């Protein structure tokens, strides 16, 4: 594979054509990533991911590609270590803020969309920050004072962590109950586990 010295001229366009028909094709995306890395096509890829997310904000492959383009170029996959997520170059703070703003804007467009929430959490984690710094943002989509008007189970998930971080354990438990009983009951056991991690006294069986 290292025998290809220059980028075949139509290759990126060709992949874009294929992705236009099958926007989440795993093999095409992984080949595109290889091309990007091999030929250092980092700068041109970000606008492309934005087009795809604009076409379909739910396209998880496009979100992953964005992460790859923004953060992946700072990670050398051959210099990995056993530790979690070792990148060896920092991403500047203005880029971080840009990414946070981008994902929050996407959430505002479609709050019940897992990809930008995962992206947002990923950035915060990378910065060593918890979720509580963005609790006001999340509360736009899930407010404990208006339980009937929750617009996003992912916002509830986010807030459960945010309240726990701020030691508002009862509030966190309330959010998790709302998920387990009403907004995401299929994952009841998972939400109950999260509740058990709060270290609260067993108040009652839900």
Partner 1 sequence: MSLVSGPGKGGHVAGAVPNELRLVIDNHVSYIQSLDTRKDELEYWLTEHLRLNGVYWGLTALHLLGHPNGLPRDKTIDFVLSCQHDNGGFGAAPGHDAHMLYTVSAVQILATVDALDDLDKRAKVGKEKVGKYIANLQDLNTGSFAGDEWGEMDTRFVFGAFLALSLMNLLDTIDVSKAVAYIQACANFDGGYGVSPGAESHSGQIYTCVGALTIAGRLDLVDKDRLGGWLSERQLPNGGLNGRPEKLEDVCYSWWVVSSLAMIDRIHWIDRNKLSAFILRCQDTDKGGISDRPGDMVDVFHTHFGLAGLSLLNYPGLEPVDPA
Which residues contribute to the site for partner 1 (CB under 8 A)?
A: 1, 24, 26, 29-30, 33-34, 37, 58-61, 64-65, 67-68, 71-72, 75, 77-78, 80-85, 113-115, 118-119, 121-123, 125-126, 186-190, 193
Chain Cα centroid distance, residue 27: 21
Among residues 24 and 151, whose Cβ is nearest to partner 1?
24
Shortest distance (Å) from residue 197 CB to partner 1: 8
Among residues 9 and 93, whose Cβ is nearest to partner 1?
93
Shortest distance (Å) from residue 144 CB to partner 1: 21
Collect all residues with Cβ–Cβ distance below 8 Å to 5 and sequence separation of at least 6: none
Among residues 82 and 146, whose Cβ is nearest to partner 1?
82
Among residues 67 and 137, whose Cβ is nearest to partner 1?
67
Q: How far apart are CA 183 and CA 185, in angstroms?
A: 6
Write the DSSP assignment of 112-142 as a string of letters: S-HHHHHHHHHHHHHTT--SGGGHHHHHTT-
Cα within 13 Å of Cα(191), Cβ side: 25
């Amino acid at each position: 594979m290292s025998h290809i010295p220059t980028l075949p001229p139509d290759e990126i366009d060709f992949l874009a054509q294929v992705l236009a028909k099958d926007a989440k094709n795993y093999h095409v995306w992984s080949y595109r990533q290889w091309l990007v890395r091999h030929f250092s096509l980092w700068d041109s890829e970000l606008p492309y991911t934005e087009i795809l997310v604009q076409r379909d904000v739910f396209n998880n492959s496009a979100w992953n590609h964005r992460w790859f383009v923004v953060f992946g170029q700072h990670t050398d996959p051959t210099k990995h270590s056993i530790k979690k997520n070792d990148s060896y170059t920092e991403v500047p703070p203005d880029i971080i803020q840009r990414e946070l703003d981008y994902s929050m804007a996407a959430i505002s467009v479609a709050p019940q969309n897992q990809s930008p929430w995962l992206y947002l959490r990923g950035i915060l984690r990378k910065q060593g920050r918890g979720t509580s710094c963005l609790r006001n943002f999340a509360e736009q989509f899930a407010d404990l004072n208006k339980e009937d008007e929750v617009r996003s189970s992912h916002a509830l998930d986010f807030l459960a962590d945010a309240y726990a971080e701020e030691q508002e354990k009862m509030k966190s438990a309330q959010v998790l109950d709302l998920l387990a009983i009403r907004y995401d009951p299929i994952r009841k056991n998972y939400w109950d586990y999260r509740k058990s991690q709060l270290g609260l006294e067993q108040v009652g069986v839900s």
